[in-house]
């Protein structure tokens, strides 16, 4: 759930999503859901000639399971905060495992 | 009793709450429960405690961050669907569910052969696509409808189909070689499971 929350903080930022079929799509992150499905607006494809089917498309919904990487704007990521949140979630998971 | 604003009442119907909070438990990161209309009580948000700089950006309502909300915007729109096997279907999205299963009306399959800059359309009709096979949905900009960048040209289906088949065979061969070399180095490629199928 942490990365779901994290991606929500990146809404309206420009990101590049690289898919497992090697297409890279750049666009404004509009929405994300629990499966990390991603919605991008005003998209541009890095190699348009190779992927002509995306030329008349303005916004895309990308299934989370086909995403390989998401390239993020460094300025929009608070790394120490993310580290802290990760540790907290990990320690909570450990505590929960001990309980159950 | 925990703060009622932190209870799980304001998530989308049919979807479980993002994270269940115990009374007094700190919120792990920014929670969907907090949004513009309900600012969290002071001291409850770790983001506020930690950030010395600008205040946190107001969060959008959690209902916006569900699969349903994302697909709702695309309903009854002309879409270009890319399937996991690389097929491109163009049609009107009529129905869907939480798994991303889709019903597409008046569907046309469009074949592209990038090497020769050719394409062709095949009328297919009604489609029910199982969600797991979808890789991407694109809403077609009606101002740019059916815009295919030059030098791509429409060609007879038979010709494009034959070229496409030849290209697929070649791609499969190079993919197999790639997998083989990766396997030799101890890697299990991303499509390892699919390559067998």
φ/ψ region of B71 (left if φ > 0, alpha if ψ in -120 to 50, else beta) reads: alpha
Nearest CB among B26, B86, B148 relative to A21 is that of B86
Which of A9, A18, A52, A77 is most worth mutating to test chain B (most B CB atoms within 10 A of its CB)? A52
φ/ψ region of A66 (left if φ > 0, alpha if ψ in -120 to 50, else beta) reads: alpha
Q: Judge whether A44 lies within some domain.
A: yes
CATH number of this structure's domain B66-184: 2.30.30.100
Which of B12, B15, B26, B29 is most worth mutating to test chain A (most A CB atoms within 10 A of its CB)? B29
B96 touches chain A (CB under 8 A): no
For A92-96, the CB contacts below 8 A with 24+ separation are A92/B28
Q: What is the ipTM of this complex?
A: 0.83
Contact B136 A61 (CB under 8 A): yes
- CA pair distance B173, B167, nearest whole angstrom: 10
Contact B136 A19 (CB under 8 A): yes
Query: For residue A80, which residues of chain B lie inside 8 Å, CB to CB?
Result: 50
Which of B22, B65, B150 is most worth mutating to test chain A (most A CB atoms within 10 A of its CB)? B65
Q: Judge whether A98 lies within some domain.
A: no
Nearest CB among A55, A65, A85 relative to B29 is that of A85
- CA pair distance B79, A29, nearest whole angstrom: 19
- CA pair distance B40, B69, nearest whole angstrom: 24
Q: How confident is the model at residue B168 (pLDDT cuts 50, 70, 90)?
A: confident
Cβ contacts of residue A92 below 8 Å, gap of 6+? B28
Per-residue model confidence (pLDDT) at position B147: 80
Is residue B12 within 8 Å of residue B63, measured between CB atoms?
A: yes
Residue matched to tokens 């994270």: B19
Q: Judge whether A90 lies within some domain.
A: no
* Structure token pair of residue B82: 């890319």
* Segments of chain A assigned E as strands: 14-19, 24-32, 38-45, 57-62, 67-71
Query: For residue A39, which residues of chain B lie inside 8 Å, CB to CB?
Result: 70
A19 touches chain B (CB under 8 A): yes
Is residue B18 within 8 Å of residue A34, measured between CB atoms?
A: yes
Q: How confident is the model at residue B2 (pLDDT cuts 50, 70, 90)?
A: very low
Contact B110 A60 (CB under 8 A): no
Could you tell me what percent of chain B has a pLDDT over 70?
A: 65
A86 touches chain B (CB under 8 A): no
Cβ contacts of residue A27 below 8 Å, gap of 6+? A14, A15, A17, A40, A41, A42, A43, A44, A59, A60
* Structure token pair of residue A99: 């309980």
| Cα radius of gyration (chain B) | 24
Q: Is the pLDDT of residue B122 over 80?
A: yes
Q: Structural domain boundaries of chain B?
A: 66-184
Q: Is the pLDDT of residue B48 over 60?
A: no
CA angle centred on B137, ends B133 and B139, rounded to 5°: 160
Is residue A6 within 8 Å of residue A34, measured between CB atoms?
A: no
Q: Judge whether A21 lies within some domain.
A: yes
DSSP state of B145: T
For chain B, what is the mean pLDDT?
A: 75
Q: How confident is the model at residue B38 (pLDDT cuts 50, 70, 90)?
A: low
Contact A8 B74 (CB under 8 A): no
Q: Is the pLDDT of residue B196 over 80?
A: no
Q: Judge whether A84 lies within some domain.
A: no
Domains in chain A: how many in total? 1
* Structure token pair of residue A100: 């159950």
Query: For residue A84, which residues of chain B lie inside 8 Å, CB to CB?
Result: 46, 50
Buried b (16+ CB within 10 A) or exposed e, A34-54: eebbbbbeebebeeeeebbbb
What CATH number does residue A43 fall under? 2.30.30.100
Mean pLDDT of B68-96: 91
Residue matched to tokens 């541009």: A44
Q: Is the pLDDT of residue B33 over 50?
A: no
Phi, then psi, of B104 in degrees rounded to 5: -120, 135
The parent domain of residue A18 ranges over 1-73
Contact B67 A35 (CB under 8 A): yes
Query: For residue A32, which residues of chain B lie inside 8 Å, CB to CB?
Result: 65
- CA pair distance A8, A1, nearest whole angstrom: 11
CA angle centred on A44, ends B133 and A51, rounded to 5°: 55
- CA pair distance A49, A57, nearest whole angstrom: 14
B154 touches chain A (CB under 8 A): no
Query: For residue B54, which residues of chain A lie inside 8 Å, CB to CB?
Result: none
């Amino acid at each position: 759930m942490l990365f779901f929350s994290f991606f929500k903080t990146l809404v309206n930022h420009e990101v590049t999503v690289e898919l497992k079929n090697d297409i890279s799509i750049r666009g404004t992150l509009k929405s994300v859901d629990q499966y990390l499905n991603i919605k991008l607006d005003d998209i541009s494809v890095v190699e348009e000639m190779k992927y002509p089917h995306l030329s008349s498309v303005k916004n895309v919904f990308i299934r989370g399971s086909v995403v390989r990487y998401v390239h993020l704007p460094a300025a929009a990521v608070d790394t120490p905060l993310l580290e802290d949140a990760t540790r907290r979630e990990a320690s909570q998971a450990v505590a929960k495992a001990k309980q159950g | 009793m925990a703060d009622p604003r932190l209870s799980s009442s304001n998530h989308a119907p049919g979807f479980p709450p993002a994270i269940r909070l115990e009374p007094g438990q700190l919120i792990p990161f920014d929670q969907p429960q907090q949004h513009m209309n309900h600012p969290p009580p002071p001291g409850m948000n770790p983001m506020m405690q930690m950030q010395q700089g600008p205040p946190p950006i107001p969060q959008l309502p959690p209902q916006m961050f569900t699969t349903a909300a994302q697909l709702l915007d695309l309903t009854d729109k002309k879409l270009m669907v890319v399937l996991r096997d690389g097929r491109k279907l163009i049609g009107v999205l009529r129905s869907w569910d939480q798994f991303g299963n889709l019903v597409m009306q008046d569907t046309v399959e469009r074949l592209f052969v990038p090497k020769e800059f050719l394409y062709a359309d095949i009328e297919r009709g009604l489609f029910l696509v199982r969600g797991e096979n979808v890789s991407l949905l694109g809403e077609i900009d009606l101002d740019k409808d059916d815009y295919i960048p030059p030098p791509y040209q429409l060609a007879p289906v038979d010709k494009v189909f034959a070229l496409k088949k030849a290209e697929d065979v070649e791609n499969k061969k190079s993919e197999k070689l790639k997998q083989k070399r990766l396997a030799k180095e101890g890697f299990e490629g991303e499509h390892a499971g699919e390559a067998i199928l």
